[in-house]
Chains A and B, each alone.
Chain A
């Protein structure tokens, strides 16, 4: 125990000595914070990033990095985490190497992207350190309660990942606990249980049966813990949905789900399009815009082939898409980025 404590003390002292302070700022108008100037730290040596952040709203954020192997900031080289609403600078610990195998080579730059916008988020300091037992525990704890497997995103409909600790599914830790319990309990009972002459079954069989029974009890108990964890996630989703949708009319709910500006445009389009079913096309750079238009404007039919559409809905189009407007003339305009066009043929 003493040796452990002394080791820990040395590690903490080491942390105090070896750390790189990162200067992270928000470029004007950018929705992210980025390290300036570029650093060049060895990922092997500096496994841990510590950020001190104050945020007046909770939400999710991503920590990205660029390495000499891949200088782009992209999702495979990122860690997803929860930003808590705090009125003080809270420390966030990331044992990056354990959470993401792409923390390799030399790290040139890091970037923090708050997914709910950078407003009212302050970053006091950022450090790269070799990490120690305490930062590892804090990082693992933070990772377990992080958004992975808890936050509802598009892919939730197909798969819900388990919470991770040090980049490993919590299920694997449970299997290890069950396995170790089985071995220890079996050995303990085998050497403790006396040979009974009354029972015909050999001692090893009796011990095995008892151990198996206890192990299954333990498995169910651990499963109940996972169930409570799932219940906690349901509670958080309930809170989110309650504040977002409860007590609103179905129109208001759709406006929230689709985005207010897009919903207003769909209502406008419904009003302006003819009453009898027509085929229409859609130009929009927004995600899911066609899905929402398709269902909202039934009985009108969304046509993916614009040339076969008699009407064209345009909502914040991609610049490349605008060429497709050829052959259509303006029918009705909600604003410069949201208008309806009619085929000239």
Chain B
């Protein structure tokens, strides 16, 4: 029982920090629901707390309860005081959109269906919390990388050590840092409780997805597609592990959904939230950087294509997200810097590859475009991971192409296409191609864009807000 209280208090710190930031971003504008506000508070709070711990550690501060709690509490206190003085909402706003239907439905079938959907989604969330908290970490990377680094940070108080450098390689640290914070908060290494981070990311993902669809479509549509989001077994499974992929999916999805809100409404807080989430995503996985670049590229393209738009929002987005990602971007292990160095080495005359030919390391033969597309297609359409999402999305896009082309939905299509293109390009490299054929990597890469693809399908197919079919 004491452990549970400690855990709740440990979680309260990043959530309060997040609420403070969210309150500051949205001020008294009534744009976020209660659920969405909680999910954003969690994502921003744990992300910024992780960055703060990383930065403190870079300055040689040993991480422990005092060194993390004091500065974070101070920041939270200042933010909360400001919001209270200005009478700005912190946890909820009376004028926030209600999560239940604004038009009372007389349709018994529909209200019953909605109740069943809420129950089913609630059961899956309960299952995910149970699955995450009931067992210690058991999977390969959990034990070997993220979990081990988290324990090293907790035990030594340092993020960068010889051992963590060896274990992390080019991977960022938000996942182990967030687990380490739980250990620090509860005062012991409890790898089962450390995974609460991922169950909360899963819950946050569902809340942001639901609220995102709900802005444009009926309550039934939002619930139905949120339920379908719980149908992807790989996402649900990852929510019970300490892998970084679910966390990356959470940050990326929230970033893209809010980017879409910005494109649709030009609501400035949406752009800020998008920049924050995509910037924090850079600190979760290596692939966070190219995902962020794709989002920025689409924002730039929209700035060029849309008649009223200027470059200012794009610059603001880049500056804010870069600022958030800065502690990692300037780190010599980061994806961006290491790739710049690789490119530099390639361009130098002496830097021509001296390694063994790729074919020696090629159990599946050299990659060809046809081979890559065939494997990718197989993984997208014939496995349980994504059910029949890609088929339904493809059909929806064919049938609703006019609607997509005339609306901002085309930018979501562009984001998904650029992602697929990036993956295809990535798999032209022999080692990555091996991972595609043996299935090690591809489904986890697809995971990041699956909620976005489902979001697009929901907006294509869903009934208009508070109207019946």
A interface vs B, CB < 8 Å? 149, 152, 154-163, 169, 171-172, 174-175, 178, 212, 215-216, 219-220, 222-224, 226-227, 230-231, 233-235, 237-238, 241-242, 244-246, 250, 253-254, 257, 288, 291-292, 294-295, 298-299, 301
Contacts and interface: CB of A to CB of B under 8 A. Distances in A.
A276 to B, nearest CB: 12
Contact of A162 (B190, B384, B442): B384
B285 interface: no
B130 A171 contact: no
Contacts of B26: none
Nearest to A171: B382
Contacts of A160: 233-234, 237, 383-385, 443
Interface in B384-400: 384-385, 387-389, 391-392, 395-396, 399
Nearest to A155: B439
Interface stretch (B48-56, B87-95, B224-232): B224-232
Given A157-B241, A291-B143, A295-B147, A226 B388 contact: yes
B120 interface: yes
B228 A230 contact: no
Is chain B's interface secondary structure helix, strand, loop, or mixed overall?
A: helix
Contacts of A250: 136, 190-192
Interface of B: 120, 123-124, 127, 130-131, 134-141, 143-144, 147-148, 151-152, 155-156, 163, 190-192, 224, 227-228, 230-234, 236-238, 241, 243, 379, 381-385, 387-389, 391-392, 395-396, 399, 439-444, 461
Is chain A's interface secondary structure helix, strand, loop, or mixed overall?
A: helix
B151 A171 contact: no
Contacts of A254: 136
A253 B135 CA distance: 6
Given A157-B238, A157-B243, A257 B135 contact: yes
A213 B439 CA distance: 34
B148 A157 contact: no
Given A171-B387, A226-B387, A220 B238 contact: no
B233 A233 contact: yes
A156 to B, nearest CB: 6
A309 B154 CA distance: 24
A269 to B, nearest CB: 16
Contacts of A162: 382-384
18 contacts: A149-B233, A152-B237, A157-B139, A160-B443, A161-B383, A162-B383, A169-B382, A171-B391, A172-B382, A216-B396, A224-B228, A234-B124, A234-B236, A235-B127, A238-B131, A241-B131, A245-B135, A291-B144
